[in-house]
Amino acid sequence: MTRAHAPLDTIIEGDSIAVMNSLPEGSVDLVFADPPYNLQLGGELLRPNNSKVDGVDAAWDRFDDFAAYDRFSRAWLSAAKRLLKPDGALWVIGSYHNIFRVGAILQDLGFWMLNDVVWRKTNPMPNFRGKRFTNAHETLIWCAKSQESRYTFNYDSMKALNDDLQMRSDWTLPLCTGPERLKVDGVKAHPTQKPEALLYRVILATTRPGEVVLDPFFGTGTTGAAAKRLGRHFIGIERDKDYATLARARLKNVKPVPEAELLITPSKREEPRIPFGTLVERGMLRPGDLLFSPGKRHAARIRADGTIIADRHRGSIHQVGALVQGAPACNGWTFWHVEERGNLVVIDLLRQKIRAETISN
């Protein structure tokens, strides 16, 4: 099968490695992979009441030995690397059974490690035998195609998603349960269906709207659902016809975000730089005007050159703000205020007015 263009928003049925090798080189922005874990289960796992635990015992998760699993991992990771654009990236999720072997192969193939992320499950399956710690997490590896890749990381989106705190590499999310868990005749349709919240975070963090996300082990379509909802394209590869059928039905009901502007978090790093002196030049503040700290504990007078003076301290709004507090650093834009009609107004609001004019022009 040879294609001139990558088949977007499509589920391709077939062997993941064979299909990936048939797709155009450099046609994908992100690969998310939830490969077989090679769980090496020995016999049935029973609960204390002797009922059987519904674990992973399908043929697709069985390999003859570690060498066979390593050959499989190297083959699909090599195929994925060929498909990635120069600035593309890859995520792979696994457990202690396989993630370390996969990580070593990633480095052997020249991928550049960016983070390992721990998905800590709020509702993990108990350890029924009581012989080990409860397996309460899985590990995701995020890596760029190469050390030179200018990979995407939407830092501001992740910070906003986390109540304006920097997103950490340990993510606390529940297992896929309740209405989200796909079932057939009351039985789980797929033993390892991932929660959509996990893929939502991955895709929002490391792609841009309109980019292409490939999942070579598509299962019941969680990656496609999150991608479609967030205005990204997806390519799914799935060799099990029943899983592919369920995924197609699922994706028909997914509604993308209606307006493109709702998908983008403006980056502060990309905003036009507005020096404090611009406010003075524009007449929004005048030489001699007073700036106040919160509660008016400190006051500073504006100079004609855009510096300020408070007591014996003179310098930028940031330098003087730090000095009057005895602090190592200070964001002067949020520390200093002007008084308007008896109320203190943070000077950053004045800067935002100029930025808005700059962007609109």
> Using CA atoms, how far apart are residues 215 and 234, in angstroms rounded to an integer?
8
> Using CA atoms, how far apart are residues 217 and 16, in angstroms rounded to an integer?
7
> Using CA atoms, how far apart are residues 119 and 204, in angstroms rounded to an integer?
16
Q: Are 18 and 76 in contact (CB under 8 A)?
A: no
Question: Token pair 């088949």 is at which residue?
Answer: 7
Q: Is 335 helix (H, G, I), strand (E, B) or coil?
A: helix
Q: Which two tokens stand for residue 334?
A: 């949020």
> Using CA atoms, how far apart are residues 264 and 287, in angstroms rounded to an integer?
38
pLDDT value, residue 47: 42
pTM given for the model = 0.74
Count Cβ atoms within 10 A of the Cβ of residue 273 and give its class: 0-12 exposed, 13-18 middle, 19 or more buried: exposed
Query: What b/e readout covers 221-253, taking b as 16+ CB neighbours within 10 angstroms?
Result: bbbbbbbbbbbbbbbbbbbbeebbebbbebbee
pLDDT value, residue 189: 86
CB atoms within 10 A of CB 271: 13
Dump strand ranges (E) for 19-83.
28-33
pLDDT per residue, tens digit, the chain (361 aa), is 444 578 999 999 999 999 999 999 999 999 999 999 887 655 454 444 554 445 555 665 578 889 999 999 999 999 999 999 999 999 999 999 999 999 999 999 999 999 999 999 998 888 777 788 998 999 999 999 999 999 999 999 999 999 989 999 999 999 988 888 888 988 888 888 999 999 999 999 999 999 999 999 999 999 999 999 999 999 999 999 999 999 999 999 999 988 877 888 877 677 778 899 999 999 999 999 999 999 999 999 999 999 999 988 999 999 999 999 999 999 999 999 999 988 999 999 999 888 877 655 5
Pairing of strands 28-33, 137-144: unpaired
